[in-house]
Structure 1
Amino acid sequence: MGLLRTILIILLIYYGVKILSKIFAPYLLRYMSKKMQERFGGQFQQQQSNQQPKHREGETVIDKVPNTNASSNKKVGEYIDYEEID
């Protein structure tokens, strides 16, 4: 009798959760999608505000100054002239 009662309780809980999930799943998904939309919208707005140009149109802007201390190694090796052999 105890085994049959346990199986019956498990089945009732299973079908109860199944029915409740069909009822509350659309509300839960709607809530989650609204939260994700707010989060991504906030990130998009922040990204757009960071990309605003800080200079006037037509103005030349140099973001990186080249390194003037770059020295070239003049002693690379000797030049060997190759001839093509047929």
Structure 2
Amino acid sequence: MELASFTGFIRVLFYIILFYYLFRFLARIFAPIVMQKAVDKVQERMQDQMKQQNYQNYNNQNTTKKDMPKEKEKIGEYIDYEEIE
């Protein structure tokens, strides 16, 4: 059975600190790139949803216009009468 040495403990502690700072450094570099890609995906999804919603609204308007009865022909003209005292 081997006992842990002081130098082994220092080496492990050094590696932990090294990996921590390396991770922080890489996160500062790559986090904005990853976040921008996530924002782009969300914007793309929102645009797709808006296109789909507009397409559905356009189709609904077309069907409602066909189903509406035509306006009756206007016969004559409108005359506004005034009272004379």
TM over 0.5: yes
Query: Relative CO higher for 1 or 2, CA cutoff 8 Å, sep ≥ 6?
Result: 1
Measured against aligned partners, the alpha-carbon deviations of 1:25-48 in whole angstroms (never above 9, x if no partner) come to 111111110011111111121111
Instruction: Tell me what 2:27 maps to.
Output: 21
Q: Which runs of 5+ in 1 are unaligned?
A: 61-86
Count of paired positions: 59
Identity %: 31
Measured against aligned partners, the alpha-carbon deviations of 1:25-78 in whole angstroms (never above 9, x if no partner) come to 111111110011111111121111111212328x26xxxxxxxxxxxxxxxxxx
User: What's the Cα RMSD here?
Assistant: 1.6
Distance 1:45 1:7 in 2: 55
Q: Larger C-alpha radius of gyration, 1 or 2?
A: 2
SS in 2 for 1:51: helix
Q: TM-score, normalised by structure 2?
A: 0.62
Q: Which has the higher helix share?
A: 2
| Displacement over 4 Å in runs of 4+ | none
